[in-house]
Chains A and B, each alone.
Chain A
Protein backbone atom coordinates (compact mmCIF):
# COMPACT_ATOMS: atom_id res chain seq x y z
CA UNK A 1 0.00 0.00 0.00
CA UNK A 2 2.66 2.45 0.99
CA UNK A 3 4.48 2.00 -2.27
CA UNK A 4 1.39 3.01 -4.15
CA UNK A 5 1.00 6.12 -2.02
CA UNK A 6 4.62 6.93 -2.64
CA UNK A 7 4.31 6.51 -6.38
CA UNK A 8 1.38 8.92 -6.65
CA UNK A 9 3.04 11.57 -4.55
CA UNK A 10 6.20 11.09 -6.58
CA UNK A 11 4.46 11.71 -9.87
CA UNK A 12 2.87 14.79 -8.34
CA UNK A 13 6.27 16.19 -7.45
CA UNK A 14 7.60 15.47 -10.92
CA UNK A 15 4.85 17.27 -12.73
CA UNK A 16 5.46 20.36 -10.62
CA UNK A 17 9.07 20.78 -11.71
CA UNK A 18 8.90 18.82 -14.95
CA UNK A 19 12.17 17.02 -14.26
CA UNK A 20 13.04 14.16 -11.92
CA UNK A 21 14.56 15.07 -8.57
CA UNK A 22 17.92 13.67 -9.57
CA UNK A 23 19.02 12.27 -12.87
CA UNK A 24 22.45 10.89 -13.63
CA UNK A 25 23.18 10.66 -17.35
CA UNK A 26 26.00 8.63 -18.86
CA UNK A 27 28.40 9.41 -16.04
CA UNK A 28 32.05 8.45 -16.41
CA UNK A 29 34.64 8.72 -13.65
CA UNK A 30 38.27 7.73 -13.88
CA UNK A 31 41.20 7.91 -11.51
CA UNK A 32 44.67 8.70 -12.74
CA UNK A 33 47.15 6.75 -10.68
CA UNK A 34 50.84 5.98 -10.94
CA UNK A 35 50.05 2.59 -12.41
CA UNK A 36 47.59 3.78 -15.02
CA UNK A 37 44.01 4.92 -15.40
CA UNK A 38 41.38 3.14 -13.31
CA UNK A 39 37.97 3.42 -14.94
CA UNK A 40 35.70 3.41 -11.92
CA UNK A 41 32.48 4.40 -13.68
CA UNK A 42 31.82 3.74 -17.34
CA UNK A 43 28.50 5.26 -18.28
CA UNK A 44 26.00 5.13 -15.44
CA UNK A 45 22.49 6.52 -15.81
CA UNK A 46 19.74 6.48 -13.24
CA UNK A 47 17.09 8.73 -11.78
CA UNK A 48 15.34 9.19 -8.45
CA UNK A 49 12.00 10.89 -7.82
CA UNK A 50 10.83 12.56 -4.65
CA UNK A 51 9.56 9.98 -2.17
CA UNK A 52 11.28 7.18 -4.01
CA UNK A 53 14.01 4.84 -2.77
CA UNK A 54 16.59 3.62 -5.23
CA UNK A 55 18.90 0.86 -4.09
CA UNK A 56 22.29 0.72 -5.74
CA UNK A 57 23.76 -2.73 -5.29
CA UNK A 58 27.28 -3.83 -6.02
CA UNK A 59 30.41 -5.43 -4.65
CA UNK A 60 33.53 -3.56 -3.65
CA UNK A 61 35.01 -1.81 -6.68
CA UNK A 62 31.76 -1.79 -8.63
CA UNK A 63 31.60 2.01 -8.52
CA UNK A 64 28.53 2.37 -6.33
CA UNK A 65 30.20 4.67 -3.81
CA UNK A 66 32.11 6.66 -6.43
CA UNK A 67 28.81 7.51 -8.15
CA UNK A 68 27.50 8.82 -4.83
CA UNK A 69 30.62 10.88 -4.25
CA UNK A 70 30.32 12.37 -7.72
CA UNK A 71 26.72 13.38 -6.99
CA UNK A 72 27.71 14.92 -3.67
CA UNK A 73 30.71 16.63 -5.27
CA UNK A 74 33.14 15.17 -2.76
CA UNK A 75 35.29 13.24 -5.21
CA UNK A 76 39.00 13.90 -4.85
CA UNK A 77 39.90 15.64 -8.09
CA UNK A 78 42.69 14.93 -8.95
CA UNK A 79 43.28 11.99 -9.05
CA UNK A 80 39.59 11.66 -9.97
CA UNK A 81 38.28 13.06 -13.25
CA UNK A 82 34.80 13.20 -14.77
CA UNK A 83 35.47 13.04 -18.52
CA UNK A 84 31.83 12.74 -19.49
CA UNK A 85 28.32 12.82 -18.12
CA UNK A 86 25.68 14.97 -16.48
CA UNK A 87 24.23 15.02 -12.98
CA UNK A 88 20.89 16.85 -13.13
CA UNK A 89 19.35 18.00 -9.88
CA UNK A 90 15.87 19.44 -10.50
CA UNK A 91 16.94 19.57 -14.12
CA UNK A 92 20.11 21.59 -13.57
CA UNK A 93 23.50 20.09 -14.31
CA UNK A 94 25.54 20.21 -11.13
CA UNK A 95 28.78 19.41 -12.93
CA UNK A 96 28.73 22.77 -14.73
CA UNK A 97 27.81 24.81 -11.65
CA UNK A 98 30.28 26.99 -9.81
CA UNK A 99 31.77 25.69 -6.59
CA UNK A 100 29.71 28.32 -4.74
CA UNK A 101 26.39 27.09 -6.17
CA UNK A 102 27.28 23.50 -5.45
CA UNK A 103 28.10 24.27 -1.86
CA UNK A 104 24.61 25.67 -1.45
CA UNK A 105 23.12 22.37 -2.56
CA UNK A 106 25.46 20.12 -0.62
CA UNK A 107 24.15 19.43 2.88
CA UNK A 108 21.08 21.61 2.40
CA UNK A 109 19.37 19.97 -0.56
CA UNK A 110 21.36 16.72 -0.88
CA UNK A 111 22.76 15.13 2.24
CA UNK A 112 24.78 12.01 2.82
CA UNK A 113 24.93 9.30 5.49
CA UNK A 114 28.21 7.44 5.73
CA UNK A 115 28.88 3.84 6.62
CA UNK A 116 31.12 4.25 9.61
CA UNK A 117 29.57 6.76 11.97
CA UNK A 118 32.49 6.66 14.38
CA UNK A 119 34.94 7.93 11.80
CA UNK A 120 32.44 10.29 10.18
CA UNK A 121 31.82 12.15 13.45
CA UNK A 122 34.44 14.37 15.05
CA UNK A 123 35.57 12.64 18.25
CA UNK A 124 36.55 15.84 20.09
CA UNK A 125 33.28 17.73 19.60
CA UNK A 126 30.00 16.90 21.33
CA UNK A 127 27.24 15.53 19.13
CA UNK A 128 25.06 18.52 20.01
CA UNK A 129 27.72 20.87 18.68
CA UNK A 130 28.12 18.87 15.50
CA UNK A 131 24.38 18.71 14.89
CA UNK A 132 24.01 22.41 15.69
CA UNK A 133 26.76 23.21 13.23
CA UNK A 134 24.30 22.46 10.43
CA UNK A 135 22.09 25.30 11.63
CA UNK A 136 24.85 27.73 12.55
CA UNK A 137 26.71 27.38 9.27
CA UNK A 138 23.83 27.04 6.85
CA UNK A 139 21.12 29.09 8.54
CA UNK A 140 23.19 31.40 10.74
CA UNK A 141 21.38 30.54 13.97
CA UNK A 142 22.90 31.39 17.36
CA UNK A 143 24.58 28.73 19.47
CA UNK A 144 21.64 28.55 21.82
CA UNK A 145 19.04 28.18 19.09
CA UNK A 146 21.20 25.66 17.30
CA UNK A 147 21.47 23.52 20.40
CA UNK A 148 17.71 23.59 20.93
CA UNK A 149 17.23 22.45 17.35
CA UNK A 150 19.87 19.73 17.84
CA UNK A 151 17.84 18.34 20.76
CA UNK A 152 14.70 18.34 18.60
CA UNK A 153 16.57 16.43 15.94
CA UNK A 154 17.85 13.85 18.39
CA UNK A 155 14.29 13.36 19.61
CA UNK A 156 13.17 12.91 16.06
CA UNK A 157 15.58 10.05 15.45
CA UNK A 158 14.45 8.50 18.76
CA UNK A 159 17.56 8.90 20.84
CA UNK A 160 16.35 8.42 24.43
CA UNK A 161 16.87 11.35 26.85
CA UNK A 162 18.03 13.65 24.05
CA UNK A 163 18.22 16.76 26.23
CA UNK A 164 20.52 14.99 28.68
CA UNK A 165 22.76 13.50 26.02
CA UNK A 166 23.20 16.50 23.73
CA UNK A 167 26.59 17.32 25.27
CA UNK A 168 27.91 13.76 25.08
CA UNK A 169 30.72 12.84 22.72
CA UNK A 170 30.43 10.29 19.90
CA UNK A 171 32.36 7.57 21.78
CA UNK A 172 29.74 7.63 24.53
CA UNK A 173 27.07 6.39 22.13
CA UNK A 174 26.59 2.85 20.86
CA UNK A 175 26.97 2.04 17.17
CA UNK A 176 23.24 2.19 16.49
CA UNK A 177 22.85 5.52 18.32
CA UNK A 178 25.79 7.01 16.42
CA UNK A 179 24.18 6.00 13.15
CA UNK A 180 20.98 7.73 14.33
CA UNK A 181 23.02 10.87 14.90
CA UNK A 182 24.35 10.61 11.35
CA UNK A 183 20.78 10.31 10.11
CA UNK A 184 19.77 13.31 12.23
CA UNK A 185 22.59 15.33 10.74
CA UNK A 186 21.54 14.44 7.21
CA UNK A 187 17.91 15.30 8.03
CA UNK A 188 18.74 18.59 9.74
CA UNK A 189 18.06 20.93 6.83
CA UNK A 190 15.23 18.87 5.37
CA UNK A 191 17.02 17.95 2.16
CA UNK A 192 15.24 16.78 -0.99
CA UNK A 193 17.56 13.83 -1.41
CA UNK A 194 19.57 11.66 0.97
CA UNK A 195 22.34 9.37 -0.15
CA UNK A 196 23.01 6.61 2.37
CA UNK A 197 26.24 4.73 1.73
CA UNK A 198 26.01 1.33 3.47
CA UNK A 199 24.20 2.89 6.45
CA UNK A 200 23.76 -0.35 8.38
CA UNK A 201 26.73 -2.45 7.33
CA UNK A 202 28.67 -1.83 10.54
CA UNK A 203 25.68 -2.62 12.78
CA UNK A 204 24.37 -5.81 14.38
CA UNK A 205 21.26 -7.37 12.85
CA UNK A 206 18.85 -6.38 15.61
CA UNK A 207 20.08 -2.77 15.49
CA UNK A 208 20.24 -2.82 11.71
CA UNK A 209 16.51 -3.47 11.57
CA UNK A 210 15.82 -0.52 13.91
CA UNK A 211 17.94 1.89 11.87
CA UNK A 212 16.51 0.81 8.51
CA UNK A 213 12.98 1.25 9.84
CA UNK A 214 13.80 4.71 11.14
CA UNK A 215 15.31 5.76 7.83
CA UNK A 216 12.31 4.49 5.88
CA UNK A 217 9.88 6.23 8.26
CA UNK A 218 11.62 9.60 8.05
CA UNK A 219 11.81 9.35 4.30
CA UNK A 220 8.08 8.69 4.10
CA UNK A 221 7.25 11.61 6.38
CA UNK A 222 9.43 14.07 4.50
CA UNK A 223 8.75 12.68 1.02
CA UNK A 224 12.45 12.71 0.27
CA UNK A 225 14.31 10.84 -2.42
CA UNK A 226 16.66 8.22 -1.04
CA UNK A 227 19.61 6.51 -2.69
CA UNK A 228 20.57 3.47 -0.68
CA UNK A 229 23.98 2.06 -1.51
CA UNK A 230 24.57 -1.47 -0.33
CA UNK A 231 26.22 -4.80 -1.04
CA UNK A 232 23.54 -6.77 0.79
CA UNK A 233 20.57 -7.99 -1.23
CA UNK A 234 18.69 -8.68 2.00
CA UNK A 235 18.84 -5.20 3.53
CA UNK A 236 17.19 -3.43 0.60
CA UNK A 237 14.52 -6.03 -0.06
CA UNK A 238 11.72 -4.30 1.80
CA UNK A 239 12.65 -0.63 1.83
CA UNK A 240 13.59 0.10 -1.77
CA UNK A 241 11.19 0.79 -4.65
CA UNK A 242 13.66 0.03 -7.40
CA UNK A 243 17.15 -1.28 -7.68
CA UNK A 244 20.17 -0.84 -9.92
CA UNK A 245 22.84 -3.56 -9.88
CA UNK A 246 26.34 -2.37 -10.69
CA UNK A 247 29.32 -4.31 -11.92
CA UNK A 248 32.69 -2.87 -12.97
CA UNK A 249 31.38 0.68 -13.21
CA UNK A 250 28.24 -0.08 -15.20
CA UNK A 251 24.65 -0.77 -14.38
CA UNK A 252 24.06 -4.35 -15.46
CA UNK A 253 20.45 -4.59 -14.40
CA UNK A 254 17.71 -2.33 -13.16
CA UNK A 255 14.30 -3.27 -11.96
CA UNK A 256 11.43 -2.60 -9.58
CA UNK A 257 12.53 -4.27 -6.36
CA UNK A 258 10.21 -7.28 -6.15
CA UNK A 259 10.63 -8.22 -9.79
CA UNK A 260 14.39 -8.53 -9.45
CA UNK A 261 14.28 -11.23 -6.80
CA UNK A 262 11.65 -13.17 -8.66
CA UNK A 263 13.17 -13.08 -12.12
CA UNK A 264 16.69 -11.70 -12.48
CA UNK A 265 17.49 -10.70 -16.05
CA UNK A 266 21.29 -10.70 -15.79
CA UNK A 267 23.55 -13.68 -15.05
CA UNK A 268 25.44 -11.65 -12.44
CA UNK A 269 22.29 -10.85 -10.46
CA UNK A 270 21.17 -14.45 -10.73
CA UNK A 271 24.59 -15.61 -9.49
CA UNK A 272 24.43 -13.22 -6.54
CA UNK A 273 20.98 -14.40 -5.54
CA UNK A 274 21.98 -18.04 -5.84
CA UNK A 275 25.15 -17.61 -3.80
CA UNK A 276 23.34 -16.43 -0.66
CA UNK A 277 22.49 -19.21 1.79
CA UNK A 278 18.86 -19.26 2.92
CA UNK A 279 17.78 -18.84 6.49
CA UNK A 280 14.66 -20.95 6.22
CA UNK A 281 16.19 -24.05 4.69
CA UNK A 282 19.48 -25.85 4.72
CA UNK A 283 20.87 -26.09 1.23
CA UNK A 284 23.49 -28.27 -0.36
CA UNK A 285 26.63 -26.78 -1.82
CA UNK A 286 26.38 -23.04 -2.41
CA UNK A 287 26.42 -21.75 -5.93
CA UNK A 288 29.56 -19.66 -6.31
CA UNK A 289 30.30 -17.18 -9.08
CA UNK A 290 33.70 -18.30 -10.27
CA UNK A 291 36.69 -15.98 -10.49
CA UNK A 292 37.20 -12.50 -9.10
CA UNK A 293 35.80 -9.02 -9.74
CA UNK A 294 37.84 -7.34 -12.50
CA UNK A 295 40.76 -5.00 -12.03
CA UNK A 296 39.48 -1.53 -12.96
CA UNK A 297 42.72 -0.80 -14.82
CA UNK A 298 42.16 -3.80 -17.07
CA UNK A 299 38.44 -4.22 -17.54
CA UNK A 300 37.91 -7.15 -19.92
CA UNK A 301 36.77 -6.19 -23.43
CA UNK A 302 33.12 -6.75 -24.28
CA UNK A 303 30.90 -7.48 -21.31
CA UNK A 304 32.98 -6.96 -18.16
CA UNK A 305 31.34 -10.00 -16.58
CA UNK A 306 32.20 -12.39 -19.42
CA UNK A 307 35.19 -14.17 -17.77
CA UNK A 308 32.95 -15.16 -14.84
CA UNK A 309 29.74 -15.77 -16.73
CA UNK A 310 28.48 -19.32 -17.28
CA UNK A 311 26.62 -18.20 -20.42
CA UNK A 312 29.42 -16.24 -22.11
CA UNK A 313 29.76 -16.65 -25.88
CA UNK A 314 31.94 -15.01 -28.51
CA UNK A 315 29.86 -11.86 -28.82
CA UNK A 316 30.25 -11.27 -25.05
CA UNK A 317 34.02 -11.01 -25.43
CA UNK A 318 33.90 -8.35 -28.11
CA UNK A 319 30.76 -6.25 -27.80
CA UNK A 320 29.77 -4.23 -24.77
CA UNK A 321 26.08 -4.95 -24.16
CA UNK A 322 23.89 -1.87 -23.78
CA UNK A 323 21.30 -1.56 -21.03
CA UNK A 324 18.15 -2.49 -22.98
CA UNK A 325 14.52 -2.67 -21.84
CA UNK A 326 13.38 -6.11 -20.75
CA UNK A 327 10.02 -7.39 -21.91
CA UNK A 328 7.76 -10.38 -21.35
CA UNK A 329 8.16 -13.35 -23.64
CA UNK A 330 5.17 -12.20 -25.70
CA UNK A 331 6.62 -8.71 -25.97
CA UNK A 332 4.50 -7.33 -23.10
CA UNK A 333 6.05 -4.43 -21.29
CA UNK A 334 7.89 -4.78 -18.00
CA UNK A 335 8.07 -1.15 -16.88
CA UNK A 336 11.29 -0.05 -15.27
CA UNK A 337 13.22 -3.17 -16.15
CA UNK A 338 16.48 -3.23 -18.04
CA UNK A 339 19.38 -5.59 -18.51
CA UNK A 340 22.85 -5.21 -19.99
CA UNK A 341 23.21 -8.77 -21.21
CA UNK A 342 23.27 -9.95 -24.82
CA UNK A 343 21.26 -12.95 -23.74
CA UNK A 344 18.80 -11.42 -21.29
CA UNK A 345 15.94 -13.22 -22.93
CA UNK A 346 17.19 -16.66 -21.99
CA UNK A 347 18.30 -15.43 -18.58
CA UNK A 348 14.89 -14.15 -17.58
CA UNK A 349 12.68 -16.58 -19.46
CA UNK A 350 14.85 -19.62 -18.80
Chain B
Protein backbone atom coordinates (compact mmCIF):
# COMPACT_ATOMS: atom_id res chain seq x y z
CA UNK B 1 0.00 0.00 0.00
CA UNK B 2 2.70 2.43 1.08
CA UNK B 3 4.61 2.26 -2.16
CA UNK B 4 1.63 3.78 -4.00
CA UNK B 5 1.50 6.72 -1.61
CA UNK B 6 4.30 8.85 -3.03
CA UNK B 7 3.38 8.60 -6.73
CA UNK B 8 -0.25 9.05 -5.69
CA UNK B 9 0.49 12.29 -3.85
CA UNK B 10 2.55 13.62 -6.76
CA UNK B 11 -0.22 12.78 -9.21
CA UNK B 12 -2.88 14.42 -7.05
CA UNK B 13 -0.82 17.60 -6.66
CA UNK B 14 0.01 17.80 -10.36
CA UNK B 15 -3.43 16.87 -11.69
CA UNK B 16 -4.57 20.44 -12.45
CA UNK B 17 -1.46 20.90 -14.61
CA UNK B 18 -2.40 17.82 -16.62
CA UNK B 19 -6.00 18.96 -16.94
CA UNK B 20 -5.13 22.61 -17.67
CA UNK B 21 -7.03 23.92 -20.65
CA UNK B 22 -9.78 21.28 -20.31
CA UNK B 23 -12.34 22.90 -17.97
CA UNK B 24 -14.45 19.75 -17.72
CA UNK B 25 -11.47 17.74 -16.49
CA UNK B 26 -10.34 20.50 -14.15
CA UNK B 27 -13.80 20.46 -12.66
CA UNK B 28 -13.91 16.69 -12.50
CA UNK B 29 -10.83 16.72 -10.26
CA UNK B 30 -12.50 19.17 -7.89
CA UNK B 31 -15.72 17.13 -7.87
CA UNK B 32 -13.83 13.96 -6.95
CA UNK B 33 -12.13 15.70 -4.02
CA UNK B 34 -15.38 17.25 -2.81
CA UNK B 35 -17.11 13.87 -2.86
CA UNK B 36 -14.09 12.34 -1.13
CA UNK B 37 -14.34 14.89 1.70
CA UNK B 38 -17.97 13.94 2.32
CA UNK B 39 -17.34 10.20 2.09
CA UNK B 40 -14.19 10.40 4.26
CA UNK B 41 -16.13 12.31 6.89
CA UNK B 42 -18.82 9.63 6.81
CA UNK B 43 -16.09 6.99 7.08
CA UNK B 44 -15.17 8.09 10.62
CA UNK B 45 -18.48 6.95 12.06
CA UNK B 46 -19.73 4.68 9.28
CA UNK B 47 -16.47 2.92 8.50
CA UNK B 48 -14.28 2.93 11.59
CA UNK B 49 -17.02 2.78 14.20
CA UNK B 50 -19.28 0.65 12.00
CA UNK B 51 -22.36 2.79 12.66
CA UNK B 52 -23.89 2.95 9.19
CA UNK B 53 -25.58 6.33 9.02
CA UNK B 54 -27.77 6.81 5.95
CA UNK B 55 -28.77 10.27 7.06
CA UNK B 56 -25.56 12.24 6.75
CA UNK B 57 -27.35 14.59 4.35
CA UNK B 58 -28.56 16.32 7.52
CA UNK B 59 -25.04 17.60 8.15
CA UNK B 60 -24.33 18.25 4.48
CA UNK B 61 -27.51 20.32 4.29
CA UNK B 62 -26.70 22.23 7.48
CA UNK B 63 -23.34 23.15 5.97
CA UNK B 64 -24.79 24.20 2.62
CA UNK B 65 -27.64 26.16 4.18
CA UNK B 66 -25.37 27.85 6.76
CA UNK B 67 -23.20 29.12 3.93
CA UNK B 68 -26.09 30.44 1.85
CA UNK B 69 -27.98 31.83 4.85
CA UNK B 70 -25.10 34.04 5.99
CA UNK B 71 -24.98 35.36 2.44
CA UNK B 72 -28.73 35.84 2.02
CA UNK B 73 -29.53 37.30 5.42
CA UNK B 74 -26.25 38.96 6.40
CA UNK B 75 -24.49 39.57 3.10
CA UNK B 76 -21.36 37.71 4.22
CA UNK B 77 -19.29 35.58 1.86
CA UNK B 78 -20.77 32.04 1.92
CA UNK B 79 -17.57 30.44 3.21
CA UNK B 80 -18.02 32.44 6.44
CA UNK B 81 -20.99 30.17 7.13
CA UNK B 82 -18.78 27.07 7.17
CA UNK B 83 -17.66 27.32 10.83
CA UNK B 84 -21.22 28.11 11.86
CA UNK B 85 -22.44 25.06 9.98
CA UNK B 86 -19.78 22.91 11.63
CA UNK B 87 -20.71 24.10 15.12
CA UNK B 88 -24.41 23.58 14.41
CA UNK B 89 -23.70 20.13 13.05
CA UNK B 90 -21.74 19.12 16.14
CA UNK B 91 -24.67 20.27 18.26
CA UNK B 92 -27.19 18.51 16.03
CA UNK B 93 -25.06 15.36 16.02
CA UNK B 94 -25.14 15.37 19.82
CA UNK B 95 -28.92 15.79 19.85
CA UNK B 96 -29.54 13.09 17.24
CA UNK B 97 -26.71 10.85 18.38
CA UNK B 98 -27.58 10.44 22.06
CA UNK B 99 -30.86 8.63 21.40
CA UNK B 100 -30.11 6.99 18.03
CA UNK B 101 -26.62 5.65 18.69
CA UNK B 102 -28.17 3.35 21.28
CA UNK B 103 -29.84 1.55 18.42
CA UNK B 104 -27.81 -1.13 16.76
CA UNK B 105 -27.28 -2.20 13.16
CA UNK B 106 -30.01 -1.37 10.69
CA UNK B 107 -32.19 0.23 13.37
CA UNK B 108 -29.61 2.98 13.63
CA UNK B 109 -29.56 3.35 9.84
CA UNK B 110 -33.34 3.61 9.75
CA UNK B 111 -33.39 6.23 12.47
CA UNK B 112 -30.84 8.36 10.62
CA UNK B 113 -32.91 8.17 7.41
CA UNK B 114 -36.00 9.23 9.34
CA UNK B 115 -34.24 12.24 10.86
CA UNK B 116 -32.83 13.33 7.49
CA UNK B 117 -36.22 13.08 5.78
CA UNK B 118 -37.85 14.99 8.62
CA UNK B 119 -35.31 17.80 8.29
CA UNK B 120 -35.80 17.85 4.51
CA UNK B 121 -39.57 18.26 4.84
CA UNK B 122 -39.22 20.91 7.55
CA UNK B 123 -36.71 22.87 5.49
CA UNK B 124 -39.11 23.03 2.55
CA UNK B 125 -41.68 24.88 4.66
CA UNK B 126 -39.25 27.37 6.19
CA UNK B 127 -39.37 30.81 4.68
CA UNK B 128 -36.03 31.65 6.34
CA UNK B 129 -34.43 28.84 4.30
CA UNK B 130 -36.16 29.84 1.08
CA UNK B 131 -38.81 27.11 1.27
CA UNK B 132 -39.14 24.61 -1.55
CA UNK B 133 -37.50 27.05 -3.97
CA UNK B 134 -34.21 27.10 -2.13
CA UNK B 135 -31.64 29.88 -1.79
CA UNK B 136 -29.11 31.27 -4.24
CA UNK B 137 -25.56 32.33 -3.41
CA UNK B 138 -23.85 35.40 -4.85
CA UNK B 139 -24.66 35.56 -8.56
CA UNK B 140 -21.43 37.33 -9.40
CA UNK B 141 -18.33 37.39 -7.20
CA UNK B 142 -18.14 40.57 -5.12
CA UNK B 143 -14.76 39.88 -3.54
CA UNK B 144 -12.29 37.02 -3.75
CA UNK B 145 -13.83 35.64 -0.53
CA UNK B 146 -16.98 34.70 -2.44
CA UNK B 147 -14.84 31.92 -3.95
CA UNK B 148 -16.43 32.34 -7.31
CA UNK B 149 -13.85 31.30 -9.86
CA UNK B 150 -14.06 30.80 -13.60
CA UNK B 151 -11.75 27.79 -13.41
CA UNK B 152 -12.21 24.90 -11.01
CA UNK B 153 -8.50 24.75 -10.15
CA UNK B 154 -8.65 27.04 -7.09
CA UNK B 155 -11.49 24.84 -5.78
CA UNK B 156 -9.33 21.81 -6.47
CA UNK B 157 -6.57 23.01 -4.18
CA UNK B 158 -8.97 24.24 -1.50
CA UNK B 159 -10.71 20.86 -1.48
CA UNK B 160 -7.36 19.10 -1.53
CA UNK B 161 -6.17 21.02 1.53
CA UNK B 162 -9.36 20.19 3.42
CA UNK B 163 -9.18 16.54 2.41
CA UNK B 164 -5.51 16.31 3.40
CA UNK B 165 -6.31 17.77 6.80
CA UNK B 166 -9.27 15.43 7.28
CA UNK B 167 -7.29 12.35 6.24
CA UNK B 168 -4.40 13.44 8.48
CA UNK B 169 -6.78 13.78 11.39
CA UNK B 170 -8.35 10.41 10.63
CA UNK B 171 -4.91 8.81 10.41
CA UNK B 172 -3.99 10.28 13.79
CA UNK B 173 -7.22 9.01 15.34
CA UNK B 174 -6.81 5.64 13.68
CA UNK B 175 -3.44 5.11 15.32
CA UNK B 176 -4.45 6.47 18.72
CA UNK B 177 -6.59 5.11 21.51
CA UNK B 178 -9.83 6.28 19.97
CA UNK B 179 -9.05 4.34 16.78
CA UNK B 180 -8.62 1.12 18.71
CA UNK B 181 -11.80 1.79 20.66
CA UNK B 182 -13.79 2.41 17.49
CA UNK B 183 -12.54 -0.75 15.82
CA UNK B 184 -13.30 -2.70 18.97
CA UNK B 185 -16.84 -1.30 18.98
CA UNK B 186 -17.23 -2.19 15.33
CA UNK B 187 -16.12 -5.79 15.88
CA UNK B 188 -18.26 -6.37 18.92
CA UNK B 189 -19.73 -3.59 20.94
CA UNK B 190 -20.57 -5.92 23.81
CA UNK B 191 -17.02 -7.24 24.00
CA UNK B 192 -15.65 -3.71 23.84
CA UNK B 193 -17.89 -2.63 26.69
CA UNK B 194 -16.87 -5.60 28.79
CA UNK B 195 -13.26 -4.51 28.39
CA UNK B 196 -14.11 -1.10 29.74
CA UNK B 197 -14.48 0.87 26.52
CA UNK B 198 -17.03 3.60 27.01
CA UNK B 199 -18.75 2.71 23.74
CA UNK B 200 -21.56 5.23 23.84
CA UNK B 201 -19.23 8.12 24.44
CA UNK B 202 -16.77 7.22 21.68
CA UNK B 203 -19.48 6.53 19.13
CA UNK B 204 -20.86 9.96 19.90
CA UNK B 205 -17.44 11.60 19.51
CA UNK B 206 -17.01 9.89 16.14
CA UNK B 207 -20.50 10.96 15.09
CA UNK B 208 -19.94 14.60 16.03
CA UNK B 209 -16.57 14.76 14.29
CA UNK B 210 -18.02 13.09 11.23
CA UNK B 211 -20.96 15.52 11.21
CA UNK B 212 -18.67 18.55 11.44
CA UNK B 213 -16.66 17.58 8.37
CA UNK B 214 -19.71 16.50 6.39
CA UNK B 215 -21.07 19.95 7.10
CA UNK B 216 -17.85 21.49 5.81
CA UNK B 217 -18.30 19.50 2.60
CA UNK B 218 -21.79 20.99 2.33
CA UNK B 219 -20.49 24.54 2.74
CA UNK B 220 -17.81 23.95 0.10
CA UNK B 221 -20.46 22.52 -2.23
CA UNK B 222 -22.51 25.68 -1.83
CA UNK B 223 -19.48 27.87 -2.58
CA UNK B 224 -18.87 25.98 -5.80
CA UNK B 225 -22.45 25.58 -7.07
CA UNK B 226 -24.09 28.63 -5.53
CA UNK B 227 -27.51 27.12 -4.91
CA UNK B 228 -29.23 24.80 -2.48
CA UNK B 229 -32.82 23.62 -2.09
CA UNK B 230 -34.22 20.95 0.23
CA UNK B 231 -33.60 18.16 -2.28
CA UNK B 232 -30.00 19.07 -3.14
CA UNK B 233 -29.19 19.81 0.51
CA UNK B 234 -31.03 17.19 2.54
CA UNK B 235 -32.03 14.67 -0.16
CA UNK B 236 -31.52 11.01 0.61
CA UNK B 237 -29.36 10.50 -2.49
CA UNK B 238 -26.65 12.63 -0.89
CA UNK B 239 -26.47 10.29 2.09
CA UNK B 240 -26.59 7.22 -0.10
CA UNK B 241 -23.75 8.43 -2.31
CA UNK B 242 -21.48 8.92 0.72
CA UNK B 243 -22.19 5.36 1.87
CA UNK B 244 -21.75 3.84 -1.59
CA UNK B 245 -18.49 5.69 -2.21
CA UNK B 246 -16.94 4.65 1.08
CA UNK B 247 -18.17 1.07 0.75
CA UNK B 248 -16.96 0.79 -2.82
CA UNK B 249 -13.46 1.99 -2.00
CA UNK B 250 -13.27 0.29 1.36
CA UNK B 251 -15.14 1.46 4.45
CA UNK B 252 -13.04 1.79 7.57
CA UNK B 253 -9.85 2.35 5.60
CA UNK B 254 -8.10 5.68 5.37
CA UNK B 255 -8.06 5.97 1.59
CA UNK B 256 -11.19 3.89 0.94
CA UNK B 257 -13.59 6.81 0.40
CA UNK B 258 -11.09 8.63 -1.83
CA UNK B 259 -10.70 5.53 -4.01
CA UNK B 260 -14.49 5.17 -4.13
CA UNK B 261 -14.86 8.80 -5.20
CA UNK B 262 -12.12 8.37 -7.80
CA UNK B 263 -14.16 5.61 -9.42
CA UNK B 264 -17.74 6.78 -8.92
CA UNK B 265 -17.57 10.50 -9.62
CA UNK B 266 -15.87 10.22 -13.03
CA UNK B 267 -18.15 7.30 -13.85
CA UNK B 268 -21.20 9.37 -13.00
CA UNK B 269 -20.03 12.46 -14.85
CA UNK B 270 -18.71 10.74 -17.94
CA UNK B 271 -21.65 8.39 -18.33
CA UNK B 272 -23.99 11.36 -18.06
CA UNK B 273 -21.93 13.37 -20.54
CA UNK B 274 -21.78 10.66 -23.16
CA UNK B 275 -25.05 8.84 -22.62
CA UNK B 276 -27.31 11.34 -20.84
CA UNK B 277 -28.26 13.40 -23.89
CA UNK B 278 -30.06 10.48 -25.49
CA UNK B 279 -32.61 10.64 -22.75
CA UNK B 280 -33.17 6.95 -22.20
CA UNK B 281 -31.91 6.96 -18.62
CA UNK B 282 -28.98 4.86 -19.85
CA UNK B 283 -26.66 6.69 -17.47
CA UNK B 284 -28.10 5.09 -14.40
CA UNK B 285 -28.22 1.64 -15.95
CA UNK B 286 -24.47 1.74 -16.63
CA UNK B 287 -23.72 3.43 -13.30
CA UNK B 288 -25.78 0.88 -11.39
CA UNK B 289 -24.38 -2.08 -13.28
CA UNK B 290 -20.80 -1.14 -12.46
CA UNK B 291 -21.64 -0.74 -8.77
CA UNK B 292 -23.29 -4.16 -8.79
CA UNK B 293 -20.25 -5.74 -10.45
CA UNK B 294 -17.83 -4.24 -7.94
CA UNK B 295 -20.08 -5.19 -5.04
CA UNK B 296 -20.32 -8.75 -6.33
CA UNK B 297 -16.64 -9.38 -6.96
CA UNK B 298 -14.99 -7.09 -4.42
CA UNK B 299 -17.42 -6.91 -1.50
CA UNK B 300 -14.90 -5.32 0.86
CA UNK B 301 -14.04 -2.50 -1.50
CA UNK B 302 -11.51 -1.79 -4.19
CA UNK B 303 -8.71 -1.27 -1.70
CA UNK B 304 -9.02 -4.93 -0.77
CA UNK B 305 -7.35 -5.64 -4.12
CA UNK B 306 -4.10 -4.19 -2.81
CA UNK B 307 -4.47 -5.86 0.54
CA UNK B 308 -4.97 -9.26 -0.96
CA UNK B 309 -1.84 -8.86 -2.97
CA UNK B 310 0.36 -7.64 -0.17
CA UNK B 311 -0.99 -10.32 2.15
CA UNK B 312 0.13 -13.04 -0.24
CA UNK B 313 3.44 -11.84 -1.65
CA UNK B 314 4.39 -15.36 -2.66
CA UNK B 315 1.33 -15.93 -4.80
CA UNK B 316 1.68 -15.10 -8.45
CA UNK B 317 0.05 -11.81 -9.24
CA UNK B 318 -1.77 -12.87 -12.35
CA UNK B 319 -4.76 -13.83 -10.26
CA UNK B 320 -8.07 -12.26 -11.14
CA UNK B 321 -7.05 -8.92 -9.68
CA UNK B 322 -3.99 -8.60 -11.88
CA UNK B 323 -5.59 -6.60 -14.64
CA UNK B 324 -7.27 -4.13 -12.41
CA UNK B 325 -4.34 -1.78 -11.88
- Whether both chains belong to one complex is answered with no
Residue ranges of A at the interface with B (Cβ–Cβ < 8 Å): none
